[in-house]
Amino acid sequence: MVGERKGVDTRSVTGHSRYRAVLLMGAPGSGKGTQGGILGQIPGFYHFAMGDALRVINIRSDLGKIFYEYTSRGELVPDDVVIKFWAKNLDAHATLGDFKPDDDLLILDGIPRTVNQARVLQQHIQVQRIIHLVCRDENAMFERLRRRALKENRADDADEKVIRRRMKVYEDATRPVLEFYSKDIVAEVESVGSPARVLSQILTVLAPLQDQHFSGKLE
Ligand code: ADP
């Protein structure tokens, strides 16, 4: 499967070569994390948030130091580091069994964040839909990030200069990822309104995917 372990056929862990996946995309503060967290509670979805996975790394480890060096400035962690960590991490979840590739649709939040990451990920995932959360109100996004800084103690949300840098990095490096995929699979969802309202729009797009999968299993 996704890991690159020397001498081990990692495919044998799950028997999968490419996971069925949905990408959650949107600028910082667009509500990806909130929606991903809710979706992850629904049977048949497995939510993987790259930022959350990176944040739990011990900050004193070599990887933790690299992570901190980039995120504290609002920059992206280098692609090779992120992809390797992502693959190993997901592999571990599939082995532990909380992620069940046969049953679960993988909801990826925060990866891919560059076109190069998208290209490499093609070997590992089969992207079925992209949910593009759109928030045209920059003030609302800043406000969300400020609230999150207080609630989750995130240094990268507390500093306005760092937030601005992350917005710019999103525009320059991450938005082009949307063009890497076919337009037909991209669904734009306005991320204004209550989480329930936004969720209902997302589920309108994703529920049919799950219906197909479940009915396929019953046949
Ligand atoms: P947000 O929710 O504000 O968009 P995340 O929690 O997803 O932010 O990510 C926090 C930080 O972690 C990013 O600003 C970046 O430094 C790093 N990061 C997360 N995912 C990736 C990725 N796919 N590639 C490179 N860096 C990443």
**Residue 62 in domain:** no
**Residue 11 in domain:** no
pLDDT of residue 181: 97
**Residue 159 in domain:** yes
pLDDT of residue 145: 81
Task: Give the pLDDT confidence of 65-124 residue by residue, as tens digits.
Answer: 999 999 989 999 999 999 999 999 999 999 999 999 989 999 999 999 999 999 999 999
Which regions of 74-170 does DSSP assign to beta strands (E)? 105-109, 125-134
Name residue 48's beta-bridge partners: 108
Give the binding-site residues of ligand 1, using a 6 Å CB cut-off: 28, 32-33, 50-51, 54, 70-71, 74-77, 82, 110-111, 113, 117, 156, 166
How are strands ordered across the β-sheet holding 19-25? Answer: 45-49, 105-109, 19-25, 125-134, 186-190
* Domain hosting residue 27, numbered range: 19-55+86-208
CA of 155 to the centre of ligand 1 (A): 13
The one-letter amino acid code at 153 reads N
d(CA 131, CA 34): 13
* Number of independent structural domains in the chain: 1
Six token digits for residue 211: 């219906």
CA of 209 to the centre of ligand 1 (A): 27
Six token digits for residue 53: 């996975």
Q: Which residue, judged by its Cα, is nearest atom 6 of ligand 1?
A: 51
pLDDT of residue 142: 81
**Residue 71 in domain:** no
How many C-beta atoms surround the C-beta of residue 147 within 10 A? 12
Give the predicted TM-score (pTM) of the model.
0.88
Beta carbons of 116 and 171 less than 8 angstroms apart? no
Torsion of CA 78, 81, 84, 87, to 10 degrees: -60
pLDDT of residue 16: 58
**Residue 75 in domain:** no
**Residue 216 in domain:** no
Q: What CATH number corresponds to the domain at position 132?
A: 3.40.50.300
d(CA 217, CA 193): 35
**Residue 94 in domain:** yes
Task: Give the pLDDT confidence of 33-55 residue by residue, as tens digits.
Answer: 999 999 999 999 999 999 999 98
pLDDT of residue 15: 54
**Residue 150 in domain:** yes
